Amino acid sequence: MSATAKPHLIAVDWGTSNFRAALISPAGEIENELATTRGVSSFARGEFAPYLIETCKGLGANTQLIYLLAGMIGSREGLREAPYCPCPAGGLDLALALTWVIPQRIAIVPGLRNGTDDVMRGEESQVLGAAAVLGLTEALIVLPGTHSKWVSLEGGRIAGFSTMMTGEFYALLRNHSILAKSIAPEEHWDEPSFLAGVEMAMQGASLLHSAFSLRVKFLFNELKEQEASSYLSGLVIGEELAAMQVEPGLEVILVGNTALCERYALALQHLGAHSRSLGTQASWMGLHAIYQQIKL
Amino acid sequence: MSATAKPHLIAVDWGTSNFRAALISPAGEIENELATTRGVSSFARGEFAPYLIETCKGLGANTQLIYLLAGMIGSREGLREAPYCPCPAGGLDLALALTWVIPQRIAIVPGLRNGTDDVMRGEESQVLGAAAVLGLTEALIVLPGTHSKWVSLEGGRIAGFSTMMTGEFYALLRNHSILAKSIAPEEHWDEPSFLAGVEMAMQGASLLHSAFSLRVKFLFNELKEQEASSYLSGLVIGEELAAMQVEPGLEVILVGNTALCERYALALQHLGAHSRSLGTQASWMGLHAIYQQIKL
C-alpha cells in the first residue's frame, strides 16, 4: 500500500472531560471536526467503542478509516490501558508503540513516561503537532492547564518533561481554601493584580507562604475581592515560572486554551521571556504525524 | 493594687473551631482547665459574652476575675475586632494594646502583624508562653498546623514571623485533588514513606511539581494507597522546611499538637536540625505573661 493510498484518519483527543475528533486526509488536511462533553469519566466500562463509531459517523466520511485515539482513553479508566512509552520518543516511536484495539482500524496512542518520574497522556500528540506546524525540532514547549506540562523537544523527539499541577492548585485554593472568602465568586480579570501575584511568587520561596499573602492583602485593604482571582492566578503561574527557572531571553512555545496562553504569555513577557502560542488543534497535526509513521 | 493582690486570671484561647479556658492564679499556677468545641465559627453575632461567662463558671472560681481572650475571637467574625499589634512585640506591648470589651474585666489580646506582610491571632500567646516556660529570649519557634507560623524571638519579643499554609494544603490535596484517588481513606502512618516525601520535596523546586510524584509513584506501584497519606505529609512538611531554609545544626522550638510536632521533629532530624517540643498549653503561660504586664 503506498502512502497516498492510505485511508483517511479519524484523529481523536479523548480526555477526562471532553471528546474531540477530526477527519483528516492522508495529506494532512482537516476535512471536518466535532466535539462533545462525553469525556472518559462520563462512561461506564464498555461503552467507549460504540460511542466512538456512532459519533464519528457525524464527520461524514464513509470510506475505510483508521482511528487514532490520544488522551485518558488509554488510561486504566479508558477503553484499554496503553502502557506508557519511555522518553525520548517521537512520531515513529509512538507509531511503533500503539495499542491496537482492532487491528488496522482502531489504535490508542500511548502516553509518555519520563523515566518513572513523570507521565502524560494526550499532550505528546499536541507537542508533536506543535513541532510539525512550526517546523521545529528543538524547542521548549509548554502546555498550560490543570496539569501543565513543560516539554523539551530535541531532534524532533520529546526528550523529557515536567508536570506542574498549577491549574489544579488554582482551583483548590479558589474553591476550597480559606482564601475563597476573600475572592469574588464571579471571575474578573485585572492585569495589575495578576502581575502583582507573579511578582509575589517570584520573591517568595514557596506557594505555601505566598498564597497566604492574598488573605493578608485582603485584610489590609490592599486587594479587593474582584481583583483576588487574578492575583491568585498570578501567584500560581508565577510559582510555576519560578520553579521552571524562567529567565530573560528564554523562548517558549505555548500550546493550549487561548485565554490561558495569553496569561502565560503576559507573565513570561513580564519576566523578559518570549513566547508564541498555538491552539489545541495542534493535536490533529501530531496524530497525523504519528499516522504517517504507521506501516499498514 | 499590689501585684499579689491581683485577681485570678481566666485565660481563654478561642479559635475558629475550639474554645479552651484556664483559671490561673496571679502567681501563674493553672488551677483548672476546660475545653469545648464552640469555636468562633459556631456562633451567631452577640452570643460570645454570655457563653464565655456561663462556661467559665465551670472553672469553679467565684472571685472577681480578669478575662484575657486570645485567638480568632479578636477577628471581624469574633466578639470584637482587636486591631493587629505591629512587630516587634512582647508581653508589655500586647498588654498596652489590649482591646477592653468590659474595662478591667474582659480584654482581647490583639493578633500581630509583620509589617503588612503577615498576620497571626492566638499564636503570639503560645510563643510568649513557650519563651516563658523555657526561659528563652532568643529562639526560632515553630507552630505547626493548618497555617504554620515560623516566629523569631529576639530580646524576649516577637521580632517577625512567616505563615506557611502547610496543613491546609495537605487537606486540600488529600481530600479534593486528583491525588485523593491514590490515597487510602483511613489515615495510616508509615515513616519511610513520610521521609521519602520529605526527600522529594527537598529535591524539587515546587510542590506544584513534587505533589504530582504521588500520582506517578502510585501508577508505577512505587507507593501503596496505605502509604500515600504519609508520603503527602512528608511532601508538604518537606516543602515548608525547604522554603524556610532549614540547615544542619538549626535549633527549633516546636509548639503544638503532639503527633504533628513529632512529624516535624522527625523531618527536622532527617535534615540534621534539632528540635524541642511543647504542647499548646504554652498559651496559658503566654496569657499569664501578658497579664503580669497589665496595670490595674
Nearest CA in chain A to B167: A208
- From the list B145, B122, B3, the residue with the least C-alpha distance to B69 is B122
User: Quick one: CA dihedral A233, A239, A242, A246, positive or negative?
Assistant: negative
Q: CB of B123 within 8 A of CB of B160?
A: no
Residue B84, number of CB atoms within 10 A of its CB? 22
pLDDT for residue A72 is more than 80: yes
pLDDT for residue A154 is more than 50: yes
Which residues are registered as beta bridge partners of A226?
Answer: none
Cell, residue A211: 498564597
User: Quick one: CA dihedral A260, A262, A266, A272, positive or negative?
Assistant: positive
Chain B residue numbers with beta carbons less than 8 Å from the beta carbon of A117 are: 213, 216
Chain A residue numbers with beta carbons less than 8 Å from the beta carbon of B240 are: 206, 208
Give the mean model confidence (pLDDT) for residues A260-284: 95
User: Which band of pLDDT confidence, cut at 50, 70 and 90, is reported for residue B202?
Assistant: very high
Rounded Cα gap, residues B130 and B151, in angstroms: 11
Rounded Cα gap, residues B268 and B260, in angstroms: 12
Rounded Cα gap, residues A213 and B117, in angstroms: 7
pLDDT reported for residue B3: 47
Q: Say if the Cβ atoms of A172 and B168 lie within 8 Å.
A: no
Q: Using H for helix, E for strand and C for coil, what is the string for chain A?
A: CCHHHCCEEEEEEECCCCEEEEEECCCCCEEEEEEECCCHHHCCCCCHHHHHHHHHHHHCCCCCEEEEEECHHHCCCCCCCCCCEECCECHHHHHHCCEEEECCCEEECCCEEECCCEEECCHHHHHHHHHHHHCCCCEEEEECCCCEEEEEEECCEEEEEEEECHHHHHHHHHHHCHHHHHCCCCCCCCHHHHHHHHHHHHHCCCHHHHCHHHHHHHHCCCCCHHHHHHHHHHHHHHHHHHHCCCCCCCEEEEECCHHHHHHHHHHHHHCCCEEEEECCCHHHHHHHHHHHCCCC
B93 to chain A, minimum CA–CA distance in Å?
21
Rounded Cα gap, residues A256 and A281, in angstroms: 8
Rounded Cα gap, residues A21 and A15, in angstroms: 11
Helix, strand, coil percent content, chain B, rounded in steps of 5? 40, 25, 35
Write out pLDDT tens, residues A194-224. 999 999 999 988 999 999 999 999 999 999 9
pLDDT for residue B124 is more than 90: yes
Q: Say if the Cβ atoms of A205 and B240 lie within 8 Å.
A: no
User: Which band of pLDDT confidence, cut at 50, 70 and 90, is reported for residue B260?
Assistant: very high
Residue B41, number of CB atoms within 10 A of its CB? 11
B119 to chain A, minimum CA–CA distance in Å?
7
pLDDT reported for residue A204: 84
Q: Say if the Cβ atoms of A208 and B173 lie within 8 Å.
A: no
Rounded Cα gap, residues B30 and B4, in angstroms: 16
Q: How far is CA A227 from CA A163, A167, A198, A210, A254, in A?
A: 28, 18, 14, 16, 25
Chain B residue numbers with beta carbons less than 8 Å from the beta carbon of A110 are: none
Cell, residue A141: 514547549
Question: Under 8 Å CB-to-CB from B149, ≥6 apart: which residues?
Answer: B120, B123, B127, B142, B143, B161, B162, B163, B164
Which residues are registered as beta bridge partners of B120?
Answer: B112
Q: Say if the Cβ atoms of B165 and A213 lie within 8 Å.
A: no
This model of the complex carries an ipTM of 0.94
Write out pLDDT tens, residues A172-202. 999 999 999 999 999 899 999 999 999 999 9
Chain A residue numbers with beta carbons less than 8 Å from the beta carbon of B120 are: none
Write out pLDDT tens, residues B64-107. 899 999 999 999 999 999 999 999 999 999 999 999 999 999 99
Question: Under 8 Å CB-to-CB from B259, ≥6 apart: which residues?
Answer: none
pTM score: 0.94
